[in-house]
A and B are shown apart, each in its own frame.
Chain A
């Protein structure tokens, strides 16, 4: 039962990474796309979906509180400052995004700067927190914030989100952003791959553990194939294929990581079964999730569909 509970949380988290990763990336691309018309189109490509994407973060955090209270309490007190910084960055980002259309040209430039830097900050902190969690040690707990794994995880997430966003705007907007998005895709692909290899080296134990499991083997093979497929898709310049391959790659890395962590929720601190709430609570929450998650998924798919048909 605890496994099922963990699955629910991981699923929300993965959906969050995939969906909001894309629009955080679009925010970060404001650093490189200066043309006002480009930015306008980029904003409009994410405006209808960004807040729905963030519901998955709420679901993951709420689920963690209900299903694994000790982990929630550990993470939110140890990582309180960075997590709050991330949430506030998301708030500021929302402000920059929503007020953009209302403001004068001068203020808009400021809002765009805020948009780019808060997106970058939020993404970095998310990667950094993930790095903190996977490198927790038996006795000392969470590592020093300035150690290698968290820092480089943050950079890695920034790279992969930027890549996602390049594919997204290439698909959604097309010609007006295509040349720069395409050129940047290569850069982000290379940077993300580099970070991934360093992470592989630094967390060799975890990935070895992952390889021991059948699902981990599948994920591992998928990761290799997708890393190779990605430049092929880039070369053929097919934004939608690139987007899908990148999304699958993130999914595969996520699953591979989970296989390496299992049965730990936070390595050497909490296992799944130790930290789960009582079966009654879990049952209650799981029934709720069984109702809410399909509905949310349906609603999101529907809104994506509407947006896809164009306005």
Chain B
């Protein structure tokens, strides 16, 4: 199957690239040059989404690659599907997409802002609750 073919290669390829980058970065660290290796750092920025992409393609490999089975060799997808109306399934799917999109976007927004902002001062935030009795 075509998607599985590409997804598998993408997953393994990205995994290899990440592993290689780790090796290079560690070499630079041992040489004490990690904070000043501009090309490596720029490359790392570009590599940020690689983990996500590898994970998603891995997911495609297992889920698409297993068809037409739910449990390989034991239960077929056609046998294990719930008797849900198409509208219910679609509704749930859209709701999940929407909510995940929202959570992910907001999280990414805060993550990027945190990266852009100043380095933390190292002082912990202390919130004092009442001393419990």
Chain A residues near B (Cβ < 8 Å): 40-41, 44-45, 73, 76-77, 80-81, 84-85, 88, 91-92, 95, 99, 102-103, 171-175, 240, 308, 310-311
Interface of B is mostly: helix
Chain B residues near A (Cβ < 8 Å): 82-84, 88, 91-92, 95-96, 99-100, 102-103, 106-107, 110, 113-114, 126-133
Per a CB cutoff under 8 Å, which of B91, B113, B127 touches A41?
B127
The reply to whether B129 and A80 form a contact with Cβ atoms under 8 Å apart is no
B128 CB contacts on chain A under 8 angstroms: 310-311
A73 CB contacts on chain B under 8 angstroms: 82
The reply to whether A99 and B130 form a contact with Cβ atoms under 8 Å apart is no
B127 CB contacts on chain A under 8 angstroms: 40-41, 44, 311
Q: How far is the CA of A239 from the CA of B126 in the complex (A)?
A: 24
Per a CB cutoff under 8 Å, which of A95, A102, A172 touches B102?
A95
Per a CB cutoff under 8 Å, which of A40, A80, A174, A308 touches B84?
A80
CB distance from A177 to the nearest CB of B (A): 10
The 5 A-B pairs of least Cβ separation, nearest first, read A174-B130, A77-B82, A102-B110, A44-B127, A95-B103
Which of B100, B103, B129: most chain A CB closer than 10 A? Answer: B129
The reply to whether A81 and B103 form a contact with Cβ atoms under 8 Å apart is no
CB distance from A148 to the nearest CB of B (A): 24
CB distance from B64 to the nearest CB of A (A): 23
Q: How far is the CA of A173 from the CA of B133 in the complex (A)?
A: 11
The reply to whether A88 and B83 form a contact with Cβ atoms under 8 Å apart is no
Q: How far is the CA of A155 from the CA of B96 in the complex (A)?
A: 26
A173 CB contacts on chain B under 8 angstroms: 129-130
The reply to whether A88 and B130 form a contact with Cβ atoms under 8 Å apart is no
Per a CB cutoff under 8 Å, which of A40, A80, A88 touches B96?
A88
A175 CB contacts on chain B under 8 angstroms: 130
Q: List 22 A-B contacts (CB under 8 A).
A: A41-B127, A41-B129, A76-B82, A77-B82, A77-B84, A81-B91, A81-B92, A84-B95, A88-B96, A91-B103, A92-B103, A95-B103, A95-B106, A95-B107, A99-B107, A102-B110, A172-B132, A173-B129, A173-B130, A175-B130, A310-B128, A310-B131
